[in-house]
Structure 1
Amino acid sequence: MNEGLRVRERIGAADVVTLANAVVGFVAGVVALSNPQLAARLVLLAAIADALDGIVARQFGGTEVGPLLDSVTDVVSFGATPALLVYGIAAAEWGWLGDGLTSAPSAQAAAALAAGSLFVVFSILRTALYSQFVGEGENRPGIQNTLGATILAAAYLSGLTWVPGLLAVVVVLSVAMVAPVPYPNLRARDAGVLGVVQAAAVVAPLALSRALPRFLLVAALAYMFLAPRYYWGE
């Protein structure tokens, strides 16, 4: 007897938050093709939703399908969407966003597409390998694609608009996602503080001379470079 997918029985509160994350990521990807700054803010919002689904799962319990939904959503919000953001930023700063890819100088178009493709490929690779080979409680090799997307969005909102430099950052973040370096989980207190700063950066990225996204960027980079040696997470 075919019982169907039994969606109502198999999907929990945390999964709804995860799916909301996917919606925000999709919207951000579309917006990146016309308004990269707004798209960067939406990427940060998606990262907040990504953290919230874990909190909701611990509070109300997870589901069997939850980890798979989370992995698929990561590829959307923190793989494909940042890749589109890279393209949108490059096109906007180089002056051919409105006219489209066909109007772009070939070298610029190739650079933007190559950097974005590299990010999405390494994000997919990291998600697949992590899901298949890294168990609960084991060292987490490579930076989270959420962190990579957050650094990219925060860097742009902080004022990094020089495209060659931004593309170089994208390449470094892409490789770092599969680097054999273990990263600890953030303590709940630290994650909460950063979450508040991140939410404020979404709401008012230009306030106080871009202080909020710049603080977020410094904190994210500090975690990326210092956490494997100096930070003891949960």
Structure 2
Amino acid sequence: MMNNLFSIFDPTTNLFNLSINWISTLIGIMFMPYFFWLIPNRFSMLWNLIFNSLNKEFKILMGMNGINGSTFIFISMFSFILFNNFLGLFPYIFTSTSHLTLSLSISLPLWLSFMFYGWINNSQHMFAHMIPQGTPNILMPFMVLIETISNIIRPGTLAVRLTANMIAGHLLITLLSSNGPNMSSYLIIFLIIIQILLMILESAVAIIQSYVISILSNLYASEVN
């Protein structure tokens, strides 16, 4: 029995003092040799089609000044977040993307690397980006302050966006399922239909959120070029 509704996101379960919940984020490594088989299959062809489409889209967003191969960073991030989002939909598997520990560890180093690269190599462009063209002189200090704050909170917004979206759906599913034993047989059938629809919605959210995070990170990277 759950003492708290948020206990489904509690990562303190351990075995031999090892937090076994976080091991779920490493299960994807087991599928990596699968992509290196010599005989193509439908699964690998589907992933290749998705990766090629993402690569073309990320190249367009990066522009002409983008570094060759930089799109693979965002494709890898898309794959990692997508896998962990889907993995959290299975019963008794810890949803690692519902914690700021993981989402911040993805967004913060990536944002810091963009900032260091931009201020070291394109400092003039970074200063010019803080003041939009046509800004009156009296508003320039305020625009610099606003742009600085909006730039600093970017990794936090990326992390909170992913975490909040993953928590919301899981909490709703858990809240509805906990009322199942107290319902009549007719209402249980209706509850099962609602749960199936919620699972379909959460599957769509898992794809959309991984795509949104990778697209926004790509847009932030394109601003420093």
TM superposition score category, shorter chain reference = 0.3 to 0.5
Structure index of larger Rg: 2
TM-score, normalising length: structure 2: 0.36
Please report the TM-score for the alignment, with normalisation by the length of structure 1: 0.35
